[in-house]
Amino acid sequence: MASNVSELTTYKAYLGGKWEESSSGQTIAIKSPYLRETIGFVQAVTQEEVDAAIRAAHQAQKKWAALSLNERGAVLDRWADELIKNEKEIAGTVMHEVGKGDRDSRKEVVRTADLIRYTVQEALHMHGESLRGDGFPGGSQKKLGIVEREPLGVVLAISPFNYPVNLAASKIAPALMAGNGVIFKPATQGSISGIKMIEALDKAGLPKGVLSLTTGRGSVIGDYLVEHKGINMISFTGGTNTGRRLSKQSTMIPLVLELGGKDPALVCEDADLDVTVKSIINGAFSYSGQRCTAIKRVIVNEKIADRLVARLKNEVENLSVGSPEEDSTIVPLIDDPSADFVQRLIDDALARNATLIAGNRRRDNLIYPTLLDNVTKDMDVAWIEPFGPVLPVIRVKSDREAVEIANQSEFGLQASIFTQDIDRALAVARQVEAGTVQINGRTERGPDHFPFLGVKASGMGVQGIHNSLLSMSRQKVTVLNLK
Ligand code: NAP
Ligand code: G3H
């Protein structure tokens, strides 16, 4: 990667179908979390440019929606093809920009192409319905209701840094298939990856103006976008605090929020430890724990706790630590403040007598994988999402106590239960407050056609391909009053 600032690319924003420099004359430097140097610049677009992009999207959306589903699907299929053609370059950008391992960055691009193709197929196979009036008391057969779906208008898609391609496309693809225009606001750290992805969509022949990519700090243009009267729906993925802010600011438009989590792994004393340890390690530490669905606490029955902790210790000490270029599991966190935040959680727990089993080492924004035992309810690490490689272990006496602690969290994204007794698993699953409960497996979003949702502070509304198509369109009823 070039380190000479004068040789670095200044990327243009994609506004109304053209690649443009912002009239602000301002750019934002994007620094690689592991190279620790600037890798490029993106435009800081202005409010006037946002206005123009939204106007263009409304104009273009009408023609876009008038195309047949097959025609829209063909554009998206070509987009998927372009992503695969440029897999290496796009994955390289993801790796440099957000520090995700080379293999996982490539997987993200391939998963995105698969998601787009599945979205096309799902949309092609969704049907409306018709109803006769006589199904209701006093109703008549002469009333025939035809229920179809239509687009909402212009969808604002706001994505987080940690899946800069996949989580953006999981909003853009259903929005487009449903016939909407799109304003895409990527995470600033993640913008270059977003730009590469939109270059592919442009090459695939998306009609000009249907989508604009507005780069710029959320703190600067975020509120303006969210409050804009030209936005008809918002699909947001990111932190809970940002999500709360959005839900206060947006008015009278549909809002889907996928937010933070504190996913627990509940380990019963009869758990298969091979499966449990593998799932917890992978679930908690891949990409240094920077996944909304990472396992962020272990709640274990005290009868098996010593054995579990010993096995986890061994695995944690053997995790590869270093660089995304070497596909290390533990890589530098997205920036220094994020590493400071994780370190504060560790320090607080140790000051309150948690037992350090492994880790608590740091080099700049690289936090070594840290395992803490005997974590208690008075410690921040028991409740706060670290978005980093620290795993607290909380010991409990019973399933009841495990569920109680699991549910005391403000979050409710996913949970894992490890037991060999399926009746017990189902009984616990029923009581856990979460969007998804995994039995004998790690918490994770995929496969991408499953519904994906968080409850409580983890979100509002449902994603997953089918549900995203539904939330980005509305029902329209036409009633035939027959003679
Ligand atoms: P974040 O700081 O909340 O940022 C998410 C997005 O919101 C970024 O595009 C950001 O732009 C934008 N933003 C910031 N302030 C805004 C405002 N006032 N109005 C509109 N947009 C605004 O989250 P992150 O650090 O990127 O991602 C980590 C968090 O996301 C974690 O909490 C994680 O659990 C959560 N997450 C949840 C899911 C899920 O599906 N449940 C998936 C992935 C991540 P800037 O980058 O320009 O600030
Ligand atoms: O970071 C949040 C993502 O939705 C997690 O996706 O479970 O496939 O890693 P994943």
- Residue ranges and CATH numbers for the domains of the chain are 5-259+460-477 (3.40.605.10), 263-447 (3.40.309.10)
Cβ pair 87, 190 in contact under 8 A: no
Q: Which ligand is nearest to the CA of 453?
A: 1
Residue 133 has a pLDDT of 97
Measured from the Cα of 185, ligand 1's closest atom is 9
- Is the C-beta atom of 444 inside 6 A of ligand 2? yes
**Residues marked as catalytic:** 258, 292
Give pLDDT tens digits for 380-427: 999 999 999 999 999 999 999 999 999 999 999 999 999 999 999 999
How many A from CA of 92 to the centre of ligand 2?
A: 19
Rounded distance from Cα 236 to ligand 1 centre (Å): 8
Instruction: Please list, residue by residue across 202-227, b when 16 or more beta carbons sit within 10 angstroms of its beta carbon and e when fewer do.
Output: bebebeebbbbbbbbebebbbeebbe
Whether 156 is in the pocket of ligand 1, judged by its Cβ within 6 Å, is no
The pLDDT of residue 1 is 43
237 CA → ligand 1 middle, Å:
6
- Identify which of 292, 383, 462 to mutate to test ligand 1's pocket (most ligand atoms within 8 A of the CB): 292
Closest residue to atom 42 of ligand 1, CA basis: 292
- Ligand 1 within 6 A of 238 CB? yes
CA of 158 to the centre of ligand 1 (A): 8
Please report the pLDDT score of residue 2 as a whole number. 43
How many A from CA of 446 to the centre of ligand 2?
Answer: 7
Residue 111 parent element (H or E):
helix 102-124
**Pocket perturbation via mutation, ligand 2, pick of 111, 445, 448 by most ligand atoms within 8 A of CB:** 445
Residue 251 host element (H or E): none
Considering only CA atoms, which of 22, 58, 53 is closest in space to residue 225?
53
Q: Which residues, at least 6 apart from 51, have a Cβ–Cβ distance to it below 8 Å?
A: 228, 230
> 424-432, long-range: CB within 8 Å, 24+ apart, which pairs?
424/268, 424/270, 424/399, 427/399, 428/266, 428/268, 428/399, 428/402, 428/403, 431/403, 431/407, 432/264, 432/266, 432/403, 432/406, 432/407
244 Cα: distance to centroid of ligand 2 (angstroms)? 20
Residues in the chain predicted with pLDDT less than 50, given as ranges, are 1-3
Ligand nearest to C-alpha 258:
1
**Ligand 2 near 162 CB (within 6 A):** yes
Atom of ligand 1 nearest to the CA of 161: 26
Q: Identify which of 161, 214, 288, 468 to mutate to test ligand 1's pocket (most ligand atoms within 8 A of the CB).
A: 161
The β-bridge relationship of strands 455-456 and 459-460 is unpaired
Contact status, residue 399 vs residue 418, Cβ threshold 8 Å? no
Residue nearest to atom 2 of ligand 2 (CA): 292
Minimum-distance ligand to the CA of 157?
A: 1
Q: What are phi and psi of 393, to 5 degrees?
A: -110, 125
Ligand 1 and 217: CB distance under 6 A: yes
Tokens of 258: 């996928």
What distances in angstroms separate CA 380 from CA 152, 348, 375, 385, one per listed residue? 41, 7, 10, 9
